[in-house]
Amino acid sequence: MRDCRGRDHATAGPVAVAAIAGTVVTLLLATGCSAPVRPRATAPAPSRTVGTGSTPFRPGASGGTGTGDPAPSGCGHPAPAAVDRVVSFAVDPAAAEGQRTRTALVHVPAGYRPQSPHPVLLVYHGHGGNPAETAAGTGFRDLADRKGFFAVYPQGLPDGPDGPPMWASAGAVDHGIQELPAARSLLDTLAADYCIDAARIYATGISNGGGMANYLACRLADRITAVAPVVGNMYWPKDGGCQPTRAVSILDIHAVDDPVVSYQGSRADPAWMLPAVTDWLAGWAALDHCPTTPAVPVDTAALQVRQWTGCADGSAIVAYRVMGGHRWPPSLVGSPTASVIWDFLAGHRMPASTR
């Protein structure tokens, strides 16, 4: 178990408290930030500078060292002989605890065709986890074979000297690790080696990895199409706040009885305040220009489902409030959790205007 600064909750993160007053949601982006992001009536045109607060943001200008230029295409390259491969990608040693490369386990889907672009799902392990365990425990490997997508399991860096693997998903506040340029480098490497569909790149993860999925939605929306965090702690990034360059579709799964990442949030540490899941969702609904009140098609003691539709650019938010504690639930509404996640994510494509 980790504390609310991310020592198993998910990741480190800034003060981020969503306050709801009437129908207006004010979302604080970072500690000491007085300029909130407010709901906008309509989605801004992709070519314009958008956002409120002291620092505007532009599509394609999210954090990281990537240039935003398309990576060399791997389409047409011979199909790999191995189904599961460990892929290395370059990183800056100063941003990766001295390492020059990082790794990810890549599952190439059965029947992979190098001439046809395939979707990618990044699956982030929890604190102390690893790609092999995550691949075995989430069920995406077999699903990838049936649905024809790459299941990619990145490896986190140590949480300090000799510490367990983790994700610094709130910016370079944990050991100087920078996850955004690493994620860009991984995606560039995949695009160079395989035939990848840049309009269908998704992310999910559990606990610390769920926080990582949220971080990518906040800060790498020019590359990540939609995300699905599972029992993650959703701190808002310290490296500029949660400023997505476009509306991002989100499926969230969280247990109301989670003893590690409280559904109600935590204010125990003023420097690392964890927003309640309901406030975090309300903040994202504002960022995605969704209707204020979600539909609630299922509402029982064991399961509640809330849906925000009609959001900007065809985006949507779906939230599953479940029972079962801090774990990857085996199923949702009678289907395997991996299938529910994939069906939601696969229904969204990156708008052509943002690529």
pLDDT in tens, the chain (355 residues): 343 344 443 333 322 323 322 222 333 233 222 222 223 233 323 222 222 222 222 222 233 334 344 556 899 988 887 889 999 999 999 999 999 999 999 999 999 999 999 999 999 999 999 999 999 999 999 999 999 999 999 999 999 988 999 999 887 888 999 999 999 999 999 999 999 999 999 999 999 999 999 999 999 999 999 999 999 988 878 888 899 999 999 999 999 999 999 999 988 887 788 899 999 999 999 999 999 899 999 999 999 999 999 999 999 999 999 999 999 999 999 999 999 999 999 999 998 876 6
- Residue showing tokens 């995550």: 134
Q: How far apart are CA 213 and CA 344, in angstroms?
A: 15
Helix (H/G/I), strand (E/B), else coil: 169? strand
How many Cβ atoms are within 10 Å of 55's Cβ, its own excluded? 12
Q: Strand (E) positions, the chain?
A: 18-21, 24-27, 84-90, 101-107, 118-124, 150-154, 157-158, 165-166, 196-206, 226-230, 249-255, 295-299, 303-308, 317-322, 331-332, 335-336
Residue 222, φ and ψ in degrees, nearest 5: -80, -10
- Supply the pLDDT for residue 354: 67
Tokens of 190: 């995949």
The two tokens of residue 204 are: 């999910």
pTM for the structure as a whole: 0.82
- pLDDT at residue number 70: 52
DSSP letter (8 states) at residue 352: G
